Structures are given as C-alpha cells and as structure tokens.
Amino acid sequence: MLCETSGVGASVDLEKVPKPENVDFEQWLKVHPGTGYVFTADPEKAEECVNVFEKAGLTAVIIGKIESGLKLDIYDKTGRVTVFDFSKESITGIGSE
C-alpha cells in the first residue's frame, strides 16, 4: 500500500525479515502485517531510525529499498519475483487515477 499510494516501487530481501524462532516463515509473512510495521526513511537516516526502535525495545531491520518503477519485488538467494505491478493492479485504488 505504501508503494502504491506513493507512486514508487520497492524491493524486499526476505532473508532480512525478522521472525520468531520456531515459526514457519510463510505463516509469519501472513501474520506479520498485523504484528509489524513497514516504514521508509532516507538511506542516510535509516540506521538512526533502527536505533530509535531498538532503544524502545523493538526489533527493527532494514529489509529493502525504494526503487524507481511501480513494482514491488521480493527476493532471496533463490531469485526475485514481482509481487505487485502497480501499473497493472491495485491494492487500495489510491493514486491509480
């Protein structure tokens, strides 16, 4: 939703997504939207943002980056796949006009 409403693309490294031990990764990805937050920051300020969360006792990790284009890609060591192409599909409909 963040990418769609901002008119940008992004890529996410699945291997950097933090998860509890002994939890199936696919299941974690399904529940993560209700237990985690995604935010963006200027690359030069990203570590500072992570530190603020960690000082509050929360886990924070840089897992991706904003990219040109209108696609949300995920990747790991096995490859890369486009999850959403906002030039062709919509989640919220915001910004599609």
Q: Which amino acid is at 9?
A: G
State the CB neighbour count (10 A cutoff) for residue 44: 7
Q: Which amino acid is at 45?
A: K
Domains contained in the chain, CATH given: 2-85 (3.90.650.10)
Query: How many angstroms separate the CA atoms of 56 and 37, rounded?
Result: 15
Q: What is the residue-wise DSSP string for 18-53?
A: ---TTS-HHHHHHHHHHH-------GGGHHHHHHHH
pLDDT tens, 11-44?
999 999 988 899 898 888 888 666 678 888 999 9
pLDDT tens, 40-95?
899 999 999 999 999 999 999 999 999 999 999 999 999 999 999 999 988 888 76
Q: What is the pTM of this model?
A: 0.83
